[in-house]
Amino acid sequence: MPFASEYLFAGGISILAGLDRTAVMQFLVSRPIVAAPATGLALGDPWVGLQVGVLIELLWLGRLPVGAAIPPDDTQIAVGGTALAIIMGQWTGFIGLPMILLCLLVTMPLGKAGQVFDRLARKGNAILLEKAENAVLRRKWSAVERCHLLGVVLFAAASLATYLVIVSAGTVAVLLLAPSLMPLVSEASPWVRLAFPLVGAALIISTINVRRSIVLFSASFMAVFLLLWYR
pLDDT for residue 36:
92
Residues 6+ apart with CB under 8 A from 186: 98
Residues of the chain with pLDDT > 90: what percent?
23
Task: Please state the pTM of the whole predicted model.
Answer: 0.81
**Dihedral angle over CA of 50, 173, 168, 107, nearest 10:** 40
pLDDT (tens digit, 9 = 90+) per residue, 34-76? 999 999 999 988 999 998 988 888 777 767 666 667 778 889 9
Predicted confidence at residue 77, as pLDDT, reads 92
Biggest CA–CA distance in the chain, Å, is 72
What per-residue confidence (pLDDT) applies to 166?
Answer: 93
Which residue did the predictor score with more confidence, 93 or 17?
17
Find the range with the poorest average confidence among 118-127, 140-149, 156-165, 209-218: 209-218
Q: Among 6-15, 21-30, 153-162, where is mean pLDDT lowest?
A: 21-30
Residue 189, number of CB atoms within 10 A of its CB: 18
**Mean pLDDT score, 87-104:** 85
Does 129 or 64 have the greater pLDDT score?
Answer: 129
**Residue bearing the bigger pLDDT, 117 or 180:** 117
Give pLDDT tens digits for 106-128.
998 998 888 899 889 889 988 88
In the predicted structure, residue 179 carries a pLDDT above the cut 80: yes
| Domain boundaries defined on the chain | 4-119+162-230
Q: Which residue, 38, 140, 34, is CA-closest to 83?
A: 38
What pLDDT was estimated at residue 204? 67
Mean pLDDT of the chain, nearest integer: 82
